[in-house]
């Protein structure tokens, strides 16, 4: 689905990774692991085309990403390590706001929030929610998007045991339906579809 070839990234002449190649395949979850500072977030940003590439290429369904950038972005869902929600809005209102920026029509916001474990909290202001509930609200987007490739930066952060189980169920259902996932996490996943990409620490701070 998405291939990355000979990726090299330096920050202030300090290499995070070099000559990194691989692929995110249909039906699998690629878990990017490694200590803080090894470039996990940077790699996800490159794959999402948020961060320009220093050296290397990205290929989407066989084509260079520069030749199909708009169609690629339409098929990608990226969630960063911060929830990215408007705290003055409710979870339902946040999803309605996000639906104006990207197609979120796979199910209703109420159905998505229930599936992610926030039934009963749909109309509560986000500033009253716990860190784990905020994480769930952010992940509810995944229930609604039609995107086939999910790029997730530390999606397990602040989730309790049940929240992690719910997310793993969601990820497995997505890849079984022909999707693909790349995520970063310090915590091992039990999902049988997981393949690991370990990055070595090459910097002092996560970018």
For 98-113, how does the pLDDT look when each residue is reduced to its tens digit (9 = 90+)?
Answer: 988 887 888 999 999 9
Range with top average pLDDT, 14-23, 126-135, 192-201:
126-135
Q: d(Cα 145, Cα 102) in Å, to the nearest integer?
A: 8
Mean pLDDT within 126-136: 97
Average model confidence (pLDDT) across the chain:
91
pLDDT band, very low/low/confident/very high, at 201 (cuts 50, 70, 90): very low
- SS in 3 state form for 18-69? EEEEEEECCCCEEEEECCCCCCHHHHHHHHCCCCCCCEEEEEECCEEHHHCH
Geometric angle at alpha carbon 107, from 104 and 113, rounded to 5°: 95
pTM of the model: 0.91
Per-residue confidence (pLDDT) for residue 202, from 0 to 100: 42
Tell me the average pLDDT across 43-52. Answer: 95
Domains defined for the chain, CATH in brackets: 1-75+148-207 (3.40.50.300), 84-146 (no CATH)
List beta partners, residue 79. Answer: 152
Cβ-in-10-Å burial (0-12, 13-18, 19+) of 88 comes to exposed
Coil, helix or strand for 207? coil
Q: Tokens for 61, please give them.
A: 């369904």
Residue showing tokens 């970018």: 207
């Amino acid at each position: 689905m998405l291939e990355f070839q000979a990726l090299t990234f330096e920050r202030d002449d300090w290499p995070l990774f070099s000559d990194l190649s691989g692929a995110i395949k249909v039906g699998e979850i690629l878990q990017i692991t490694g200590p803080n500072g090894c470039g996990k977030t940077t790699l996800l940003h490159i794959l999402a085309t948020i961060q320009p590439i220093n050296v290397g290429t990205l290929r989407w369904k066989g084509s260079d990403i520069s030749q199909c950038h708009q169609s690629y972005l339409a098929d990608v869902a990226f969630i960063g390590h911060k929830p990215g929600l408007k705290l003055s809005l409710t979870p339902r209102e946040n999803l309605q706001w996000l639906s104006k920026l990207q197609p979120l029509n796979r199910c209703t916001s109420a159905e998505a929030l229930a599936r992610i474990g926030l039934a009963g909290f749909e109309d509560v202001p986000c500033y009253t929610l716990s860190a784990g509930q905020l994480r769930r609200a952010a992940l509810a987007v995944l229930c609604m998007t039609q995107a086939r490739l999910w790029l997730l930066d530390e999606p397990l952060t602040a989730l309790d045991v049940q929240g992690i189980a719910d997310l793993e169920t969601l990820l497995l259902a997505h890849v079984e339906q022909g999707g693909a996932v790349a995520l970063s996490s310090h915590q091992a996943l039990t999902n049988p579809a997981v393949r690991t990409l370990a990055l070595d620490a090459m910097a002092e701070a996560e970018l």
